[in-house]
Structure 1
Amino acid sequence: MKTKIQEQFEKLYGDGASLFASPGRVNLIGEHTDYNLGFVLPGAIDKAIYVAVKPNDGKVCRLHSVDYDETIEMDIHGEKPEKQWAQYIYGVANEMEKRGALIRPFDMVFGGDVPLGAGLSSSAALESAVGFALNTIYDLGFGREQLAKIGQMTEHNYVGVRCGIMDQFASLFGEAGHVIRLDCRSLEYKLEPFDPQGCKVVLFDTKVKHTLASSEYNVRRAQCEAGVAVVLRHVGGVESLRDVTMDMLDAYKGEMEEVVYRRCRYVIEENQRLLDACAALEKGDYVTFGQKMNGSHDGLSKDYEVSCAELDFLADVARTNSGVLGARMMGGGFGGCTINLVRAEAYADFLEEISDKFSHRFGQTPRIIEVNISQGAHRIA
């Protein structure tokens, strides 16, 4: 893909381009904790968006998407482009200018190998790649955390997605052999070791679209806020579920709906599971880490109720295979992927077992995506 991007740039705009990459991400544990100001544990992966870019002497930017095979001209001070892929580039440039940068016109060609529709954050990878590239070629001086916020605000203000910051943060801060324990309240982070020798990380994409995800996301968020409001009547200084302990929740359980209690219980327990999982990683204990992944899926399925039949089926099959250390749904829910930590010697047989059993049950095979934890945004040439 890198070579293809460079060759396409030379064909369209001549030589002299700089080449950058920014990866997609997986989240090992910590789901629906971000908007409750808890912890997440993402890692950058070895699938990325690649951007070739060079300033031009004209009055507009010239952009080409390799994946869509489309070319447009764009004035970053003019109307927002109609093409959604161009809106990400337009948004990043405008968010940079809001922060005092001067973005002169440029030529850009981009494309990637982040699987689309699997919840691996190709959009955040694009925002991060564009931001990192423009920051470098124009020597703008933004730090990686600022670039993550620029990407997040691009989603909010130009694409219409009210996302958290995890995806952009992982794409920019990722390191090979490490996952990122990110505190979503303070944005403090710690690189935790993740190099499970003799194991592989693989995703099984159910190909089920998240038809309920956006509406149910708002419901879950409101339920969590309702639980916080009950506790706040008795305990001062409580701003989110991050501030609520299980003892507090249990003390005032009688004042909230049972479903609200279960939603809040899941979030509090998931934050603790993540911290316990990180402690296991620091000891090189991937068996315990896998057990925490399993616990995460159980909580998401039973207490938070954001799973679906296909995700539960994949997790259940994984539990019966002694070569699988852990398996859980990943992402917002109601479809998408499971993420699995599998011993290398059991890997081939497990993939065959999953494909056979899933196709027998649901009439189609899941998409199999093997990933390796890799480095974040960087310059290639």
Structure 2
Amino acid sequence: MTDLLHLENKSVSWHSYLTGVLYYFKEICPENLSGFDCIFVSEIPIGSGVSSSAALECGFAKGLKELFNLKISDEEITLICQKAEHNFVGTKCGIMDQYAVINGKANHFLLLDCQTIKSSLIQANLDGYQLILLNTNVSHNLSTSEYNKRTQECKSALEKINIAYPEYKFLCDVPAEVIKNYKNQLLVNEYKRALYVFRRK
């Protein structure tokens, strides 16, 4: 049971995702929420790299919107769910998983620009092909993995480059030539992260 009047996160658990969503919903529309019962049923394997946390957050948020007839946009829901994961779970994730859960469409690919938060749907013609999803029973938790460390390494690399090149807002904007010139000024992992981001464009 969660007390809507005293939302806090004493320890990180699966319900931290929900507590975070509730917390930020209350910031936006504090007068509109009241007590409710909530039951979850899911066949999505937890911690298997198929965005189960984003599905939980966004499904819960959409349910709150419908239950209390809240005037809140899908974009706001996406950002709320990301903030919940950042601040109540401790995973400094991007926006991709939450955005895909909210905006995805059956039989379509979703092309997302994370800089502008603009996307387009592309018809998926998979005739003659099948997508197979295997449960390897290997579980991972981004909040306790190297994920946050790698995020910080990317941030640190950009901050150092920005001293001389403030025009680059995102690491993926920095040309490879500039990154290579910083090889001796960046820590080994910072350099590797920066070069990897560029090559993935």
Deviations 1:253-286 (A, max 9, x none): 4544565433222111112xxxxxxxxxxxxxxx
Q: Tell me by how many angstroms 1:191 deviates.
A: 1.8
After superposing the two structures, state which structure 1 stretch, 77-86 or 221-230, moved more: 77-86
Spell out the pairing of 1:286-305 with structure 2 (5 A cutoff): none
Distance 2:8 2:62 in 1: 21
* Counterpart for residue 139 of structure 1: 69
Q: Which residue, out of 109, 126, 129, partners 1:196?
A: 126
Alignment of 1:36-47 (within 5 A): none
Query: TM-score, structure 2 length as denominator?
Result: 0.80
Distance 2:12 2:145 in 1: 25
CA contact (8 A) 2:153 2:193 kept: yes
Residue 209 of structure 1 deviates from its aligned partner by 4.5
Q: What secondary structure sits across from 1:106 in the alignment?
A: coil
1:242 is matched with 172
RMSD (Å) for aligned C-alpha atoms: 3.0
Match of 2:161 among 231, 238, 254: 231
Unaligned runs of 5+ in 1: 1-72, 272-381
> AA paired with 1:161?
T
State the 1:174 CA deviation.
Answer: 0.7
Q: Which SS does the other structure have where 1:130 is aligned?
A: helix
1:300 equivalent in structure 2:
none
Work out the number of aligned pairs and report it. 199
Structure 2 counterpart of 1:78 = 6
Name the CA distance, whole Å, in 1 between partners of 2:135 and 2:141: 15
Alignment deviations for residues 320-339 of structure 1 (CA, whole Å, 9 cap, x no partner): xxxxxxxxxxxxxxxxxxxx
TM norm structure 1: 0.46
- Return the alpha-carbon distance in structure 2 between the equivalents of residues 116 and 80 of structure 1: 23
The answer (yes or no) to whether the contact 1:76–1:90 under 8 Å persists in 2 is no
Distance 2:56 2:122 in 1: 25
1:250 positional shift: 3.4
Structure 1 236/86 Cα, relative in aligned 2: closer, same or farther at 3 Å? closer
From the CA coordinates, give the structure whose radius of gyration is larger: 1
Alpha-carbon separation, structure 2, partners of 1:75 and 1:94: 11
Contact 1:225 1:240 in 2 (8 A): no
**Aligned pair 1:180/2:110, yes or no?**
yes
Aligned to 1:276: none
* Equivalent residue number for residue 58 of structure 2: 128
Greater percentage in strand: 1
What is the CA deviation profile of residues 333-355 of structure 1, one whole-angstrom value per residue up to 9, with x for unaligned ones? xxxxxxxxxxxxxxxxxxxxxxx
2: CA distance, partners of 1:129 / 1:211:
20
For 1:200, what is the secondary structure of its paired residue? Answer: coil
- State the secondary structure of the residue aligned to 1:94: helix
Larger relative contact order, structure 1 or 2 (CA cutoff 8 Å, min sep 6): 1
Q: Measured at CA, do residues 209 and 74 of structure 1 come closer, stay the same or move farther in structure 2, by a change above 3 Å?
A: closer
1:95 is matched with 24
Shift in Å at residue 108 of structure 1? 2.1
CA change 1:176–1:87 in 2 (3 A) is: same
